[in-house]
């Protein structure tokens, strides 16, 4: 009997140790979003690029110095705003980045992730948001809720896409600490309304959509409007 007990205990211990090793290895190999790896300055500053302060030349110089950043394009425009766009490669855990530039000053920085960031990661870095806005979108292959977390005074916006089953009649989705983040936008808080008006923030919905934003109530089920 003792031998059986010892054998079972040994198996449980082995499984526990193996699970711990796998967790450590997954954390080591998982690419980290630049939202987390940027520690040179506090948000909304990113790798030394300050929204509202850094010039386009200064931003380009910083981007050229970052490992994993390539395909930098300084010639794009978005309405009357200039843009710098780029791609990320490993070891960085994001896909694309861009800045909007007004009067030769960066006013926003957009970072699109590749599943390398969760809401828990984001909250550890940025804290919890002031407002939440939801919208339902549909294509031929999927239907999803876009959840936009807004920090107007701090200069952050966080977006998560939550897939919905076709035909669902439920108007709630579950928000957990593991919900993956699609994009993070840092911006100059003094340009908040301007960026909404130019459809850079709140997913291009425009000023009227911000009236639908609600105070953030924490994790759990969140109601969205069926449209």
Same-domain pairing of 131 and 90: yes
- Number of CB atoms found within 10 A of residue 210's CB: 18
| DSSP, residue by residue, 189-205 | GGGHHHHHHTTSSGGG-
**What SS3 state is found at 28?**
helix
DSSP string, 105-136: EEEEEEEEESS--BHHHHHHHH---SEEEEEE
The rounded distance, in Å, linking the Cα atoms of 53 and 200 is 18
End-to-end CA distance of the chain: 64
The range of the structural domain enclosing residue 72 comes to: 34-223
pLDDT of the residue at 93: 87
pLDDT digit string (tens) for 110-134? 999 988 899 999 999 999 999 999 8
Query: Do 55 and 15 lie in a common domain?
Result: no
Same domain, 171 and 62: yes
Q: Which of 56, 184, 188 is nearest to 111 (CA)?
A: 184
43 and 7 in a single domain? The answer is no
What's the domain count of the chain? 2
Shared domain check, 20 and 1: yes
Same domain, 24 and 43: no
> Which token pair is 25?
């290895």
70 and 24, same domain (yes or no): no
Same domain, 69 and 142: yes
| 219: helix, strand or coil | coil
Cα radius of gyration (the chain) = 21
94 and 172 together in one domain:
yes
pTM: 0.82
The predicted model gives 40-53 an average pLDDT of 96
144 and 215 in a common domain = yes
Q: Tens digits of per-residue pLDDT, 172-221? A: 778 889 999 999 999 999 999 999 998 899 887 877 788 888 999 888 88
Residues 90 and 162 in one domain: yes
Contact between 162 and 145 under an 8 Å Cβ cutoff? The reply is yes
* Contact present, 182 and 158 (Cβ < 8 Å): no
- How does pLDDT run across 149-169, given as a tens digit for each residue? 999 999 999 999 888 776 666
The single-letter DSSP state of residue 68 is T
16 and 84 both lie in a single domain: no
């Amino acid at each position: 009997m003792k031998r059986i007990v010892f054998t079972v205990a040994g198996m449980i211990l082995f499984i526990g140790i193996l699970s711990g090793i796998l967790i450590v290895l997954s954390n080591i190999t998982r690419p980290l979003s630049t939202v987390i790896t940027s520690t040179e300055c506090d948000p909304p500053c990113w790798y030394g690029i300050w929204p509202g302060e850094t010039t386009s030349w200064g931003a380009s110089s910083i981007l050229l110095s970052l490992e994993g950043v390539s395909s930098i394009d300084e010639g794009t425009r978005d309405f009357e705003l200039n843009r710098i766009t780029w791609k990320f490669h490993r070891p960085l855990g994001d896909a694309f980045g861009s800045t909007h530039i007004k009067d030769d000053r960066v006013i926003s920085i957009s970072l699109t992730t590749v599943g390398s960031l969760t809401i828990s990661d984001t909250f550890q870095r940025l804290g919890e948001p002031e407002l939440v806005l939801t919208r339902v979108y549909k294509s031929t292959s999927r239907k999803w809720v876009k959840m936009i977390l807004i920090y107007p005074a701090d200069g952050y916006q966080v977006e998560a896409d939550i897939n919905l089953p076709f035909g669902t009649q439920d108007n709630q989705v579950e928000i957990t600490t593991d919900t993956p983040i699609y994009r993070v936008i840092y911006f100059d808080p003094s340009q908040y309304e301007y960026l909404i008006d130019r459809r850079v923030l709140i997913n291009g919905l425009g000023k009227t959509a911000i009236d639908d934003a609600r105070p953030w109530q924490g994790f759990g089920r969140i109601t969205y409007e069926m449209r």
